[in-house]
């Protein structure tokens, strides 16, 4: 260790030399060599991972990967301690990053986050799995966790539906990329619910415009339901509301078409009875115009057709 630099005494360097006997050159060299060797020994001690007095902070040896993994499974399935399970699975990745156990632990960490309702972390872990192991048999499950995490955060139709959009995109990818897996079946069921949610949002806004007598604004909203969400439960009401809006604007052919398409596809619907009576009260019959966007929208889905139904 270096000390402070001291100034020589006032009587000069010669005084220092007269006060201390001269040492031989060999003696000085021996002392320098001993000091150098001692310094090297001290430097070498940390490299060996030990000290003369013991290292209390020395890292413990790695635990077997399968032991850590099974402990994580126990915490997950038996104890329901999802956060503790995540730590075990993450420890497998840290200690054995290139092992098959690390791959399995990553997907289980994503699932543990999902079980803990820690959806953001579940999405992060699952996306990382899909990126690192796109060809793995568990890639479909990881993608399903992403979609389910967004799905479970869907709010009621009065609030923003950004999570619903993300859920639909992620679940649709499960169906598209992994159509033959069990997760595709579950993804389709959740997709139906999510799409119904978005259709419900459009219907709510459309009704608001109807109450405000903004029939053009209402038509634009009901049009979204008819063109994008035909398989949802809201399409029947959307067709009836279109009949109502077009009749209010005096666009009778479109009102007749909306009523006719409604009657053709949902003849027993109470919404069709309302649409039929509405058109009939104006002195008209439900009649489909094949050139109407309504007719084309249903024909594109393979469920349209012409029908002049005179019953209510």
DSSP-derived secondary structure for 257-278: HHHHHHHHH-TT-HHHHHHHHH
Distance CA 199, CA 304 (A): 20
Q: How far apart are CA 198 and CA 36, in angstroms?
A: 78
* Residue 54 within a domain: no
| 8 has a pLDDT exceeding 50 | no
> Residue 58 falls within a domain, yes or no?
no
pLDDT tens digits, 11-59:
333 333 333 443 443 443 344 434 443 343 333 334 344 444 445 554 4
Query: CA nearest 89: which of 60, 56, 115?
Result: 115
**One domain, residues 176 and 218:** no
Give the residue numbers spanning the domain of 268.
213-300
Assess whether 181 and 219 both reside in one domain: no
Are 71 and 186 found together in one domain? Answer: yes
Confidence band for 172, pLDDT divided at 50, 70 and 90: very high
Average pLDDT of the residues of the chain: 84
Q: Do 171 and 250 lie in a common domain?
A: no
pLDDT exceeds 50 at position 188: yes
Q: Kindly indicate the confidence band of residue 7, based on its pLDDT and cuts at 50, 70 and 90.
A: very low
Distance, CA of 16 to CA of 8 (rounded, Å): 8
pLDDT at 275 > cutoff 80:
yes
Burial call 228-256: b when 16+ CB within 10 Å, e when fewer: ebbebebbbbbbbbbbbbbbeeeeeebbb
Mean pLDDT in residue range 304-310: 43
Q: 226 lies in a domain?
A: yes
Is the pLDDT assigned to residue 257 strictly greater than 50? Answer: yes
Q: Residue 254 above 60 pLDDT?
A: yes
CATH number of domain containing 76: 1.25.40.10
Q: 174 and 223, same structural domain?
A: no
CA distances from 59 to 50, 56, 69, 96, 97 (A): 11, 9, 20, 15, 17
- Judge whether residue 84 has pLDDT over 90: yes
Q: State the Cα–Cα distance between residues 238 and 272, nearest whole angstrom.
A: 11
Same domain, 156 and 268: no
DSSP, collapsed to helix, strand or coil, labels residue 169 as helix
Q: Domain for residue 42, yes or no?
A: no
pLDDT at 243: 98
Burial-class residue 101 by CB neighbours within 10 Å (0-12, 13-18, 19+).
Answer: buried
Evaluate whether residue 79 is within a structural domain: yes
- Cβ neighbours of residue 28 under 8 Å, at least 6 residues apart? none
Q: Is residue 144 part of a domain?
A: yes
Which of 196, 229, 263 terminates a domain? The answer is 196
Residue 39: inside a domain, yes or no? no
Q: What is the mean pLDDT of residues 190-214?
A: 98
Of 196, 228, 247, the position where a domain reaches its end is: 196
Q: Specify the pLDDT at position 61.
A: 64
Q: According to the model, what pLDDT value does residue 62 have?
A: 83
What per-residue confidence (pLDDT) applies to 303?
53
Q: Are residues 105 and 175 in the same domain?
A: yes
CB 171 within 8 A of CB 154: no
Domain boundary among 133, 166, 196: 196
Tell me, yes or no, whether 151 and 223 share the same domain.
no
Round to whole Å and give the CA distance between 128 and 148. 16
Is 80 exceeded by the pLDDT of residue 116?
yes
What pLDDT is attached to residue 88?
97
Residue 98 belongs to a domain: yes
Considering the domain architecture, whether residues 244 and 292 belong to the same structural domain is answered as yes
What pLDDT is stored for residue 104 in this prediction? 97
Q: In this structure, are 178 and 98 located in the same domain?
A: yes
Categorize the per-residue pLDDT at 299 as very low, low, confident or very high, splitting at 50, 70 and 90.
Answer: confident
263 & 228 share domain: yes
> What is the count of structural domains for the chain?
2
Asked if residue 76 and residue 104 are part of one domain, the reply reads: yes
Average pLDDT over residues 226-248: 97
């Amino acid at each position: 260790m270096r000390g402070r630099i001291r100034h020589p005494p006032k009587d000069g360097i010669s005084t220092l030399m007269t006060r201390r006997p001269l040492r031989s050159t060999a003696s000085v060299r021996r002392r320098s060599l001993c000091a150098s060797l001692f310094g090297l020994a001290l430097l070498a001690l940390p490299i060996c991972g030990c000290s003369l007095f013991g290292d209390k902070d020395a890292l413990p040896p790695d635990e077997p990967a399968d032991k850590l993994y099974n402990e994580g499974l126990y915490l997950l399935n038996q104890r329901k301690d999802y956060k503790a399970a995540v730590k075990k699975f993450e420890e497998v990745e840290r200690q054995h990053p290139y092992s098959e156990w690390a791959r399995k632990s990553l997907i289980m960490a994503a699932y543990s986050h999902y079980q803990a309702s820690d959806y953001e972390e579940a999405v992060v872990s699952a996306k990382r799995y899909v990126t690192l192991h796109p060809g793995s048999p568990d890639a479909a499950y990881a993608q399903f966790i992403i979609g389910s995490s967004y799905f479970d955060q869907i709010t009621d139709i009065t609030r923003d539906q950004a999570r619903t959009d993300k859920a639909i995109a992620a679940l649709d990818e499960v169906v598209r990329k992994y159509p033959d897996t069990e997760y595709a079946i579950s993804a389709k069921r959740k997709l139906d619910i999510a799409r119904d949610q978005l259709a419900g949002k459009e219907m709510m806004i459309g009704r608001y415009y109807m109450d405000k007598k903004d029939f053009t604004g209402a038509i634009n909203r009901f049009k979204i339901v008819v063109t994008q969400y035909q398989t949802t439960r809201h399409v029947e009401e959307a067709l009836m509301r279109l009949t109502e809006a077009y009749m209010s604007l005096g666009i009778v052919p479109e009102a007749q078409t909306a009523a006719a398409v409604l009657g053709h596809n949902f003849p027993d619907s109470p919404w069709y009875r309302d649409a039929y009576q509405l058109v009939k009260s104006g002195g008209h019959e439900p009649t489909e115009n094949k050139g109407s966007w309504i007719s084309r929208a249903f024909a594109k889905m393979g469920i349209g057709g012409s029908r002049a139904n005179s019953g209510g």
